[in-house]
Amino acid sequence: MSQNRRQFLRSSVASALCLAGWGGAGGGARALAAVPEAPLPVIDATTTNAFEITAVAGETEFMPGVPSRTLGFNRPYLGPVIRVRPGVDVAATVVNRTGVPISVHWHGLLVPGNVDGGPHQPIPAGETWRPVLPVAQPPATLWYHAHTHGETAPRVYAGLAGVLIVDDGKDRGRGLPARFGVDDLVLVLQDKRFDAAGEAVYRPGDADLMHGFLGEVAMVNGQPGARFAVPAGMVRLRLLNGANARNFDLSFSDARPFALIATDQGLLPRPLTLTRLRLTPGERAELLVDFAGGDATLVSAPHAETRGMMPMGGMMHDMLPLPETFTAPFPVAAFVVDPSLSAEVSTTPAALDGEADDLGTPTATRRFVLDDMGMMMGGGMAGMKGMMGQGEAAGAMAFGINGQAFAMDRLDADVARGSTERWIVSGMMMGHPFHVHGVRFRVVSENGAPPRAENSGWKDTVFVEGEAELLVHFDQPASATYPFMFHCHILEHEDLGMMGQFTVS
Ligand code: C2O
Ligand code: CU
Ligand code: CU
């Protein structure tokens, strides 16, 4: 970055933070890191077809001068953006130097179960895992994260997550911005909670287990008060909700429209113009935003407004109030036009080449009820603490699917390889982001109505708010030794047992 651009960012940061009301919207005013400008590092494996990441323990100063203990890949917090090309085998090397066992799952990558990196593929402390990933899917923004059974929530919260981009090198021809780090930006949306000293903490209480652990400071790429210098033209934002539990309900401070160009599993057939987009944990979305109109701040509505609370959920809320600190829209990231950056794309392409739905007729229907009534019916807090190993009571179900908490040694379904199935997923109390490994799916209906705009493309994670009907296609094999998972992506729910597993054969 040039000296000029640095100075430009420094001089404008104070006013931008001020305008955006940073530090005032959440749990009281806090001093935030002054000049967040370090982008996530990139590993370009599109020509080498190989990459290596090392999970490490480190320290991160989210708050100036106050180190927090964190985990990351190749760095103290989060991991590099890895770019891979479809049509080749990519040799991955994952080294575990964290001192604890981890596993690393490629979320959204359509690869066989034996390289999927789920809970059945632990990498012991000090060891190395070398899966070969046969990448063969349309371009998409995916991610990778820790996935040890019962410990996904603390590990991801600590920082074991990164973005994985399938890039076919044809985005210029599609009329899309393709200068990575200039007009093609990655934003990992998360939130953190801090103790009085300013150290990031993860100590979930009962309400946090129930609703999922919410932070009180929004972070982008590990930085509170994140800001990006952008050219005065079209910019592509690749958004990942990498938070444990928070829904981001996004819009721009000036309500400017933007184009949704891709969902979890890649491009739409044509852009959709929106002014608001909900992104729940595990989901990705790609936007085209026009900064010819000047600076803008990306804001989110409070979680309480978009968490999909159902009538039954009211009782739950009375027992354990949602630990949400935001009562008004809060800033997520600021975008400041930098005149020294040239704009290459000035219009949204009329069409994209996202594949249409050609899933055919489903050969089976399965129903998955996400059991979020458990704590009311099965022993309340005692049951939940028993499951978490924190109390003497055991046996009472807290969270499960179809009446059963996840068990490593129980297979929940066997699916025929090459088939399409109708999956009907529902919950009683609150919304849950439902994710399936190793597949892509279409959302056919939500509560009997056509899917919302953000669910109209290829997906691997969908926020189930009531009932969602999915058409799922199963191409990748998964054996009984290395089955695929399906689970709620509120990581506390996943760890508590709202997960199942299936083979594809
Ligand atoms: Cu993103 Cu099974 O996870
Ligand atoms: Cu996954
Ligand atoms: Cu859930």
Please indicate, yes or no, if residue 185 is contained in any of the structural domains: no
- The total of structural domains in the chain comes to 1
Please indicate, yes or no, if residue 167 is contained in any of the structural domains: no
Using the mean position of ligand 3's atoms as its centre, give its distance from the Cα of residue 119 in Å: 18
Output the domain CATH number for residue 487.
2.60.40.420
Ligand nearest to the CA of 460: 2
Instruction: Note the Cα 80 to chain centre separation in Å.
Output: 15
Which tokens belong to 465?
């708010």
Do 268 and 457 form a contact (C-beta atoms < 8 A)? yes
What's the mean pLDDT when you consider all of the chain?
88
What confidence tens digit (pLDDT) does each residue in 157-208 have? 999 999 999 999 999 999 999 999 999 999 999 999 999 999 999 999 988 9
- Give the CA diameter of the chain: 63
Question: Residue 107 CA: which ligand 1 atom is closest?
Answer: 1
pTM value? 0.91
Do 293 and 346 form a contact (C-beta atoms < 8 A)? no
Question: Residue 118 CA: which ligand 1 atom is closest?
Answer: 2
Question: Residue 494 CA: which ligand 1 atom is closest?
Answer: 2
Mean pLDDT of 408-416: 98
Inter-CA distances, 77 with 225, 245, 491, Å = 16, 19, 18
User: Cβ-count burial of 311 within 10 angstroms (0-12 exposed, 13-18 middle, 19+ buried)?
Assistant: exposed
Which tokens belong to 96?
């575990």
CA distance 395 to 257: 50
Please indicate, yes or no, if residue 375 is contained in any of the structural domains: yes
Using the mean position of ligand 1's atoms as its centre, give its distance from the Cα of residue 435 in Å: 7
Percent of the chain with pLDDT over 90: 78
Please indicate, yes or no, if residue 432 is contained in any of the structural domains: yes
Atom 3 of ligand 1 has which residue's CA nearest to it? 107
What is the pLDDT, as a whole number, of residue 323? 82
Least Cα distance to 57 among 160, 203, 148 occurs for: 160
Ligand nearest to the CA of 491: 3
With a CB cutoff of 8 Å and minimum separation 6, the contacts of 454 are: 260, 263, 274, 277, 278, 279, 283, 285
Using the mean position of ligand 3's atoms as its centre, give its distance from the Cα of residue 487 in Å: 8
What confidence tens digit (pLDDT) does each residue in 228-284 have? 999 999 999 999 999 999 999 999 999 999 999 999 999 999 999 999 999 999 999
Please indicate, yes or no, if residue 279 is contained in any of the structural domains: no
Please indicate, yes or no, if residue 133 is contained in any of the structural domains: no
Q: State the DSSP code for 495.
A: H
Question: Residue 499 CA: which ligand 1 atom is closest?
Answer: 2
Using the mean position of ligand 2's atoms as its centre, give its distance from the Cα of residue 265 in Å: 12
Q: Which residues line ligand 1 (CB under 6 A)?
A: 105, 107, 145, 147, 282, 435, 437, 485, 487, 489
Using the mean position of ligand 3's atoms as its centre, give its distance from the Cα of residue 359 in Å: 27
Greater confidence, 206 or 103? Answer: 103
Do 368 and 421 form a contact (C-beta atoms < 8 A)? no
Using the mean position of ligand 3's atoms as its centre, give its distance from the Cα of residue 136 in Å: 30
With a CB cutoff of 8 Å and minimum separation 6, the contacts of 57 are: 69, 70, 71, 97, 98, 99
The answer, yes or no, to whether residue 29 has pLDDT greater than 70, is: no
Mean pLDDT of 422-443: 96
Inter-CA distances, 156 with 267, 295, 464, Å = 27, 32, 22
Q: Which domain holds residue 439?
A: 364-504
Please indicate, yes or no, if residue 226 is contained in any of the structural domains: no
Question: Residue 282 CA: which ligand 1 atom is closest?
Answer: 1
Atom 1 of ligand 1 has which residue's CA nearest to it? 107
Please indicate, yes or no, if residue 195 is contained in any of the structural domains: no
State which residues have CB under 5 angstroms from ligand 2, the bound ion.
Answer: 107, 437
What is the pLDDT, as a whole number, of residue 375? 52
Using the mean position of ligand 1's atoms as its centre, give its distance from the Cα of residue 489 in Å: 7
Question: Residue 437 CA: which ligand 1 atom is closest?
Answer: 2
